[in-house]
Structure 1
Amino acid sequence: MELTTIWFVVIAFLWIGYFALEGFDFGVGMLLPVLARNDTERRVMINTIGPVWDGNEVWLLVAGGATFAAFPHWYATLFSGFYLPLLLILVALIARGVAFEYRHKRHDAQWQSRWDMAIVVGSLVPALLWGVAFANILAGVPIDADMEFTGSLLTLLNPFGLLGGLVTLTLFITHGATFIALKTVGDIRVRARALAWKSGLVAAVLAVVFLVWLQVQTGTVASAVVFALAALLLLAGVAAAYVGREGVSFAGTFGAIALAVAGMFVALFPDVMPSSTDVANSLTTTNAAATSYSLRIMTWVAAIFTPLVLGYQTWTYWVFRRRIGTHHIPTAELASR
């Protein structure tokens, strides 16, 4: 297998990890005003992702860095053409991260309410825009012979792109609900479980429409098989949420998101950014790649450090595997001592 293909697979794996892990983070953030009835319950929800959310974002940083190093032309075209959506995602992620760190600094209702809103918006914006971005990448965008994006923001806001945004939005809400149900006890758990199967049905309908549309446009037999498996896992997760099998439900949404992203990369290959202007202008794993020497060095570095990072993150999830509830949250008086 050529190194360009290997690094295409590596980048696909990184995006799979990012969406499957950060997806429930976004879902928890968006559901903050929906499932929590008071500040104590909001703190419970935030604490479910408190030890892991920043580690989950590392997948995005590594995916971006790997794209820059392995496929510099892809990186340049993507980040220049999608500049405004990516900037909005970056600002949202920064606001969200700051909110996690600052909301507990003052025990003031208005102060905490504003930071809670930052968490909600900072989760909703990326959840929507990532879907819009990837849908456009898959469908193809206007690229000229110099590998430059020639469209505008309105080019990206097409029906297929917006549907992709709604799919990721509803999928992440469902994924977050299944995670909350898995990680909490008490009333929040009951509410999350009830919401998970309802939002899951909406996500399933939107996802099936999107994947069929994608399959008709650019799909292959291999991607069709992967998409079908993703749909089955999502339906299994929804059914498990309905009967109260939280672990199975979370595994279903996790697997569905992972396979859906994998199917997108299968449908995309060997392109990395198709051109809707002229097929000859499409960026591929060959014409967008770095030099073979750079790819060899990157391969050795990845082979050494990737297992270490995966091991550390697995250990983190194991350490913080317990459920939490309102009885674990200290009162404001105790927290201020």
Structure 2
Amino acid sequence: MINYPFDLPTAWFILIGVLLTGYAILDGFDLGAGMLHLFAKKDHERRVILNAIGPVWDGNEVWLLVGGGALFAAFPPVYATAFSGFYLAFMLVLMGIIFRAVAIEFRSKEESPKWRAFWDKAFAVASFVLPLLMGVALGNLVIGVPLDAEGEYAGTFWTLLSHPYPIILGVTTIAMFMLHGAIYLSLKTSGEFRETIRVWVRNSMIFYFVSFALTTVATFVFAPHMAAKIQSMPILFLLPLLNILALANVPREIHHGRDFFAFLSSCFSIVMNLALFGIGMFPDMLPSNPAPENSLTVLNSASSHTSLTIMMTIAIIGVPFVLAYTAGIYWVFRGKVDEKHLHY
């Protein structure tokens, strides 16, 4: 059997983080586009939005499935506690994913304005709910959740909404994906509608920058431990600095009409946000509050060394295929949407 020259539980923690970051970058923009879909005034504009994300949105969700599968395989107690304790929240996420898929497919089945309006609203609402729940989930991981001595969740669904920090992070996640989606739509469209989208980009920037500042302040107030590792290792100050520089570069690139570089800056900012989150959390995966001794960590929740080794070998072989598939899809559909014929 292969003996990897690194700590396998930590490597799996990083790999899961990479997979979920990939999901946030890729599905983040089509969730953002879904939210902005609500503000399109004409049916033609809504169809342009759907065609901009149509070839890629379902493939983007592969990253979430792979990340969830990796969590199940590498850290079974974390997976079991999260999916059983947060059952209602996960059902809402599942319903949101289903409604988005159904809405995209069903809205064009009938010409009735009421029919299309219903599915348009369903698509937009689901696109709002998903990032809200994701942000709330991350916020609860930061402040900790009630776990008993067996590592089982001891709260209710409403416990997850009882602290202001997860709500703030949920709103910030909405704002982050909305900006990400607006930049992507600006990149993929042309003509008169693109000018409307550029207004959305500016408004989304204001929304996100305000939310980002509020979340930063709230983190120092409610979760000062998240900054402890950065304060203990000065080199890590580069991460928030690079994050701020990436955010500052977005309006600059938009002003000069360089949508692609604005999109790359948005992607990089998401990477930095989740890197800071992972560094602040490690080694905890499901922190317990108010009994930290009950926390589920990288070490006490990991599968056996043999299991982690076998799965790491599979991951090293399999992940490049996911990367190749993703790169291939985006290369094929790299052009802009044809607004007259509604295709690339």
Q: What do the CA deviations read for 1:282-323 (whole angstroms, capped 9, x no partner)?
A: 111011111111111111111111101111110100100111
In the alignment, the residues of structure 1 paired with residue 41 and residue 192 of structure 2 have an alpha-carbon distance, to the nearest angstrom, of: 10
Where 1:272 maps in the other structure, the secondary structure is strand
- Does 2:32 align with 1:27? yes
Q: Residue 178 of structure 1: CA displacement?
A: 0.3
- Does 2:308 align with 1:308? no
Q: Residue 224 of structure 1: CA displacement?
A: 4.9
In the alignment, the residues of structure 2 paired with residue 328 and residue 2 of structure 1 have an alpha-carbon distance, to the nearest angstrom, of: 53
Task: Identify which range, 136-145 or 208-217, moves more after superposition.
Answer: 208-217
Match of 1:238 in 2: 251
Q: What do the CA deviations read for 1:154-209 (whole angstroms, capped 9, x no partner)?
A: 22111000000010001111111000000001122111122212211221221133
In the alignment, the residues of structure 2 paired with residue 309 and residue 81 of structure 1 have an alpha-carbon distance, to the nearest angstrom, of: 30
Q: Residue 58 of structure 1: CA displacement?
A: 0.8
Match of 1:65 in 2: 69
| Match for residue 191 of structure 1 among 196, 207, 212 | 196
In the alignment, the residues of structure 1 paired with residue 167 and residue 41 of structure 2 have an alpha-carbon distance, to the nearest angstrom, of: 31
In the alignment, the residues of structure 2 paired with residue 150 and residue 227 of structure 1 have an alpha-carbon distance, to the nearest angstrom, of: 34
| Match for residue 206 of structure 1 among 191, 196, 211 | 211
Q: Which amino acid aligns with 2:95?
A: V
Q: Which amino acid aligns with 2:226?
A: T
Where 2:55 maps in the other structure, the secondary structure is coil
Q: Residue 81 of structure 1: CA displacement?
A: 2.3
Match of 1:2 in 2: 7
Where 1:51 maps in the other structure, the secondary structure is coil
Q: Are the counterparts in 2 of residues 128 and 169 from structure 1 also a CA contact under 8 Å?
A: yes
- Does 2:164 align with 1:156? no
Q: Which amino acid aligns with 1:37?
A: K
Structure 1, unpaired ranges of 5+ = 331-337
Match of 1:327 in 2: 340
**Once superposed, what is the RMSD of the aligned Cα atoms?**
1.6
Where 1:132 maps in the other structure, the secondary structure is helix
In the alignment, the residues of structure 1 paired with residue 84 and residue 217 of structure 2 have an alpha-carbon distance, to the nearest angstrom, of: 29
Q: Are the counterparts in 2 of residues 145 and 281 from structure 1 also a CA contact under 8 Å?
A: yes
Q: Which amino acid aligns with 2:60?
A: N
Q: What do the CA deviations read for 1:211-251 (whole angstroms, capped 9, x no partner)?
A: 34335242221665423322321221133224432112111
Match of 1:17 in 2: 22
- Does 2:267 align with 1:254? yes
Count of aligned residue pairs for this structure pair: 329
In the alignment, the residues of structure 2 paired with residue 50 and residue 329 of structure 1 have an alpha-carbon distance, to the nearest angstrom, of: 11
In the alignment, the residues of structure 1 paired with residue 198 and residue 261 of structure 2 have an alpha-carbon distance, to the nearest angstrom, of: 12
Where 2:336 maps in the other structure, the secondary structure is coil
Where 2:169 maps in the other structure, the secondary structure is helix
| Match for residue 42 of structure 1 among 46, 60, 70 | 46
Q: Which amino acid aligns with 2:16?
A: I
Q: TM-score, normalising length from structure 2?
A: 0.91
Match of 1:131 in 2: 135
Q: Residue 89 of structure 1: CA displacement?
A: 1.0
Closer, same or farther in 2 for the Cα pair 1:325/1:50, shift >3 Å? same
- Does 2:94 align with 1:81? no
Q: TM-score, normalising length from structure 1?
A: 0.93
Q: Residue 17 of structure 1: CA displacement?
A: 0.5
Q: Which amino acid aligns with 1:120?
A: A
In the alignment, the residues of structure 2 paired with residue 227 and residue 76 of structure 1 have an alpha-carbon distance, to the nearest angstrom, of: 33
In the alignment, the residues of structure 2 paired with residue 59 and residue 165 of structure 1 have an alpha-carbon distance, to the nearest angstrom, of: 21
Where 1:31 maps in the other structure, the secondary structure is helix
In the alignment, the residues of structure 2 paired with residue 261 and residue 139 of structure 1 have an alpha-carbon distance, to the nearest angstrom, of: 16
Structure 2, unpaired ranges of 5+ = 1-5
In the alignment, the residues of structure 1 paired with residue 296 and residue 217 of structure 2 have an alpha-carbon distance, to the nearest angstrom, of: 24
| Match for residue 218 of structure 1 among 183, 203, 226 | 226
Q: What do the CA deviations read for 1:4-59 (whole angstroms, capped 9, x no partner)?
A: 0110000000110011111111110111131x332122111101110100011111
Q: Which amino acid aligns with 2:173?
A: T
Task: Identify which range, 263-272 or 239-248, moves more after superposition.
Answer: 239-248
Q: What do the CA deviations read for 1:257-296 (whole angstroms, capped 9, x no partner)?
A: 1210121011111111111122211111011111111111
